[in-house]
Amino acid sequence: MARIRGFVRHDTRGKEVIDSDDVEKIQDNIENLAKPIRDSQIIGGVLVEDALLEESKINEVRHSLGRVPKGYKVVDRNANATIWSSQKGSDRFLYLVTSAEVTVSLWVF
Q: What is the pLDDT of residues 48-70, one digit of tens each?
A: 999 999 998 999 999 999 999 99
Q: What φ, ψ does residue 28 adopt, rounded to 5°?
A: -65, -40
Q: Is position 56 within any domain?
A: yes
**Cβ atoms within 10 Å, residue 87:** 11
Shared domain for 18 and 62, answered yes or no, is no
pTM, two decimals, is 0.68
Shared domain for 70 and 90, answered yes or no, is yes
Q: How many CA atoms lie within 13 A of 91 on its CB side?
A: 2
Mean pLDDT of the chain: 89
| pLDDT for the residue numbered 14 | 75
Shared domain for 89 and 50, answered yes or no, is yes
Shared domain for 75 and 55, answered yes or no, is yes
Domain count, the chain: 2
Band (42; pLDDT cuts 50, 70, 90): confident
Amino acid present at 65: L
Shared domain for 57 and 104, answered yes or no, is yes
Q: Is position 103 within any domain?
A: yes
Shared domain for 66 and 23, answered yes or no, is no
Query: Cα separations (Å) of 36 from 22, 40, 44, 108?
Result: 23, 6, 12, 19
